[in-house]
A and B are shown apart, each in its own frame.
Chain A
Amino acid sequence: MTSKSMLLSISLAVAAALASGAVSARTEIQNKGSDTLVNVAQSWAEQYGKINPEVAVAVSGGGSGTGIAALINGTVDIANASRKMKDKEIKEAEAKGHHPVENVVGYDALAIFVNKSFPLNSISIPELAKIYGRDGGATKWSDLGITIPGCKDEIVVVSRQNNSGTYAYFQEAVLGEKGKFRQGTLDMHGSKDVADLVEKTPCAIGYSGLAYATEHLKTLCISPEKGKACVKPTEDTAFDGTYPIARPLMMYTDGKPKADVKKYMDWIMSDVGQCILAKEGYAPVRKISCK
């Protein structure tokens, strides 16, 4: 053996050892989906990586629909979703031999934002449907008997891009199963953009996760019917279901979670995991005290 080929075989052996070592030492969990959950999912992945360096959780966003599609195709271990899987999607998954299991990991109150100059503190679900629904009937604030200082009456309707889970949830919860959004909504590409636009525009109304509320915005109290008592969006009212447009945040796994995925899901549901979720502005699944 020449010295050159010996060197080569040694380096090959070292590389092989390194590679096999890396494979056995690190397992990877693929986690994809909802943009509402993506910040929380990233915090979870980072914190979990500190406790269990042998497990790497790869998190990416892309929207609830993207995560669910990836689960159907079998390319992720966990799909994040801010809406429930549709029957059609579950059937597609079953057809491909995957059995999605729903795990509720937290709750989010869908907050309705208006500009600081908005005169009222509450709005009802039917009024929201009039504003957002196709042919809903309200295109001017005066249609609802509201006058906003600094606004000439036209309602500036702020919405989200159509593959957002928040958009899909709002459509179902406010406009109903068959409801459609009206034409001419300003479709923002993120919850932050909704908050920014509403903050600057007196005529505007928008919706986003409660985590995006700021003191520069008015967050409305929501009543299920006109004239009924309204409920403020808080972590508590989202948790106990009294807030009318609160939604569960889900992580779908393929079958009951097993091995590393199960450990990860258990840790997410533990007090530590739930406190991370609460810190990001969402409601945990049970009463816990976080410091």
Chain B
Amino acid sequence: MANSTTAPGAATAAAFDRRDFDWYVDKAVQAIVFVCGISAIIFVLGIFVFVTKEGLGFIVNHMNFHEFFLTPYWSPSDADDPEYGILALMAGTASVTGLAMLVAIPFSLGAAIYIAEFASGKTRETLKVLVELLAAIPSVVWGFIGLVIMNPLIIKWFDVPVGLCVLNAGIILGLMAAPIMTSIAEDALKAVPDRYREAAEAMGATRWQVTYKVVLPAAKNGLLGGVLLGVGRGFGETMAVLMATGHAVNIPNSIFDSVRALTATIAAELGETVVGGEHYQALFTIGILLFLVTFVVNLSADLIVRGIRKG
């Protein structure tokens, strides 16, 4: 030490002063990790500000709330008389997401119950890996399956003219949402303390009675959270629904009608609009709507899941 000639008190302080290389590395890493940690917040805010900035011009200058939300006519490129009604697009998104949940909820709940409560050892591990693998399939591949495999099958089985419809997209989207819902539902079931199961078994309950009467009610918030996250996933999905719905502005009367989703409309039209034009801004307004809906859905899912962890 350079200052070994100073007073003993200072020497002790110097001995405790660990501003060596490791100390600086530690500080630097802390700073970097802090920036990474808050970056998610910065990005979310940044995206929200950007989307709002681009769409605000339409909301302020052109948007007629009644026309926008309550008419089904979407023909924004008509120079003399453009129409911006998203009712049919919302109906498309809602019908596809709704059907997807009907497909995904039984599948994912069943899978989660089996994995968490009944399967054991190798079976459980294999199943968990496979479910995660299912979640890793890119959405464009799902869309491709809808277009090339499901389309002719639906035409053949149900004798309808076109197989690109609510049914096709709903099944595809349901299969896409199922893995994430399975994972979350399984976590929720796992979070139920073992003493609940032991107590029920001690009372003479069978395996199914334990699951049905004890574990499921105890985990219901987590399961609901998983379902909501699946809804958010379905609502925001673009590529697969663009390919499987048939892309027709239409309020569906049956599951065999072609529809168009909000997300798919943005994907199909944004690239060919004049930047800053009315049509461009209208698409960003749809973006704001999607952002708000998925934000609310995900936030409530998160709050519900947190609720059970605490309780």
Contacts and interface: CB of A to CB of B under 8 A. Distances in A.
Contact of A184 (B248, B269, B274): B248
A96 to B, nearest CB: 13
B159 A152 contact: yes
Interface string B136-172: 0000000000000000000000011110100000000
Nearest to A185: B248
B217 interface: no
B79 A63 contact: no
A151 to B, nearest CB: 6
A186 interface: yes
B249 A163 contact: no
Contact of B164 (A66, A154, A183, A186): A186
A65 B272 contact: yes
Interface in A171-199: 171, 177-178, 180-181, 183-189, 197
Nearest to B273: A163
Contact of A62 (B79, B159, B162, B271): B271
Q: Which of A89, A156, A181 has the most B CB atoms < 10 Å from its CB? A: A156
A203 B161 contact: yes
A35 to B, nearest CB: 8
Contacts of B277: 69
Interface string B8-25: 000000000000000000
Contacts of A201: 161-162
A181 B268 contact: no
B279 to A, nearest CB: 8
Contacts of B164: 186
B77 A156 contact: no
Contacts of A197: 162
Interface residues of B, number: 34
B232 interface: no
Interface string B76-96: 111111010000100000000
24 contacts: A65-B274, A66-B272, A88-B80, A152-B160, A162-B74, A163-B77, A163-B272, A168-B77, A171-B78, A178-B80, A178-B81, A180-B75, A183-B249, A183-B251, A184-B248, A184-B250, A185-B248, A185-B249, A186-B162, A187-B249, A189-B268, A197-B162, A201-B161, A201-B162
Contacts of A66: 272-274
Q: Which of B88, B271, B274 has the most A CB atoms < 10 Å from its CB? A: B274
Contacts of B80: 86, 88, 177-178
Q: Which of A65, A88, A162, A180 has the most B CB atoms < 10 Å from its CB? A: A162
Contacts of B247: 186-189
Interface in A53-105: 62-63, 65-66, 69, 86, 88-89
Contacts of B250: 183-184
A152 B248 contact: no
Contacts of A134: 73
B77 A89 contact: no
Nearest to B253: A184
A48 interface: no
A156 B247 CA distance: 13
Nearest to B74: A162
A75 to B, nearest CB: 11
A161 interface: yes
A182 to B, nearest CB: 9
A163 B248 contact: no
Contacts of B257: 184
B212 to A, nearest CB: 44
A204 interface: yes
A212 interface: no
Contacts of B279: 163
Contacts of B78: 162, 171, 180
A187 B160 CA distance: 18
Interface in A231-255: none
B234 to A, nearest CB: 22
B272 A151 contact: no
A156 B161 contact: yes
Q: Which of B72, B76, B77, B250 has the most A CB atoms < 10 Å from its CB? A: B77
Contacts of B274: 65-66, 69
Interface string B254-278: 0001101000000011011110010
Contacts of B159: 152
Given A162-B78, A163-B279, A187-B248, 17 more contacts: A63-B272, A66-B274, A154-B161, A156-B162, A161-B268, A161-B269, A163-B77, A163-B273, A167-B77, A180-B73, A181-B75, A183-B88, A184-B258, A186-B164, A186-B258, A189-B268, A201-B161
A291 to B, nearest CB: 37
A88 B161 CA distance: 41
B306 to A, nearest CB: 42
Interface in B160-192: 160-162, 164
A47 B251 CA distance: 48
Interface string A220-231: 000000000000
Contacts of B75: 162, 180-181
B246 interface: yes
B79 A89 contact: yes
Contacts of A86: 79-80
A154 B159 CA distance: 12
Nearest to B247: A187
A202 interface: yes
